[in-house]
Amino acid sequence: MTLIKLTISIWQIDINQSISLYMEKFKVFSSDRFVCDIHNSPLFTFNEAKQNNMVGWVRNTSKGTVEGTVQGKADGINQMVHFLSKVGSPLSTITNAEFKNKRELVSLEYKNFQVKNTDW
């Protein structure tokens, strides 16, 4: 009896082409009393995050800011930083945007992007 050894490769990972993932926390400030159009700003952020294949979250705060976390590829993070600091909701007047804790990730910590309830 002859034994035949058969190996099937389903996929192959090229370590040189691995994708780097990043995380960045943000807080957006506005001169408006209701920052960045309080009801719509998280929805605009949500839509922008989806277009850039980001995961994480966004919410309004009781201090009149919008805060959250984005995770994904570097180019998507850069697009979100631009959007959050320069564009925002059409009804917003962004005065400042803070970004902190940027770091590389081994894997994404969120499965999707969501609008969280306010902290108030």
Average pLDDT rounded to a whole number, residues 45-67: 90
Which pTM value belongs to this model?
A: 0.76
Q: Where are the beta strands (DSSP E) in 19-118?
A: 21-30, 55-60, 66-73, 94-105, 113-115
Report the CATH fold assignment for 19-115: Alpha-Beta Plaits (3.30.70)
Tens of pLDDT, residue by residue over 2-24, are 444 433 333 333 333 457 999 99
Structural contact between residues 66 and 116, judged by C-beta atoms closer than 8 angstroms:
no
Average pLDDT rounded to a whole number, residues 92-107: 90
Tens of pLDDT, residue by residue over 68-97, are 999 999 999 999 999 999 988 777 788 899
